[in-house]
């Protein structure tokens, strides 16, 4: 299929999209002939063709950069998933440590109460012995 680069001489609606006047586009040769005959376009100049081809290459480079950026973002996400797993493990360990410490605090509270009861009993015995 042969194509041609043309410059639109007026705004044109193609498949529901408006293509503005002076846009350089690549179309099939038969469409070029229809539009040219209807004075909707003219053939692109050598300079316009060179600029169009340059934009195509720039767009290819842009696509490559987007793909590289996307790959980097996906790698970053995977790294963050690893960080998240590490943090979740740390939370679990800290939760277990907290539970252990809370049990120690409870045990120390019981020991304190037992010692306070023992001190009270000794003071009572001391008073009773002092009489």
Residue 41's pLDDT is 92
Quote the Cα angle for 32-35-41, to 5°: 90
**Confidence at residue 58, expressed as pLDDT on a 0 to 100 scale:** 67
Angstrom distance (rounded) from CA 48 to CA 70? 32
The dihedral over CA atoms of 8, 10, 13, 14, expressed in degrees to the nearest 10, equals -20
pTM exceeds 0.85, yes or no: no
Mean pLDDT of the chain: 89
Residues 6, 25: Cα–Cα separation, whole Å: 6
Confidence check: pLDDT of 88 > 70 = yes
pLDDT at residue 60 is higher than 70: no
Angstrom CA distances, 93 to 65, 98, 101, 124, stand at 42, 9, 12, 46
Higher pLDDT, 68 or 98: 98
């Amino acid at each position: 299929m042969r194509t041609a680069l043309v410059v639109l001489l007026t705004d044109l609606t193609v498949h529901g999209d408006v293509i503005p006047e002076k846009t350089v586009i690549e179309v099939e040769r038969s469409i070029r002939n229809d539009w040219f005959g209807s004075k909707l376009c003219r053939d692109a100049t050598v300079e316009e063709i060179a600029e169009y081809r340059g934009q195509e290459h720039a767009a290819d480079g842009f696509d490559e950069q987007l793909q590289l950026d996307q790959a980097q973002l996906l790698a970053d996400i995977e790294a963050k998933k690893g960080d998240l797993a590490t943090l979740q493990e740390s939370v679990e360990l800290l939760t277990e440590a907290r539970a252990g410490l809370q049990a120690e605090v409870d045990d120390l509270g019981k020991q304190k109460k037992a010692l306070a009861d023992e001190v009270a009993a000794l003071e009572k015995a001391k008073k009773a012995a002092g009489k």
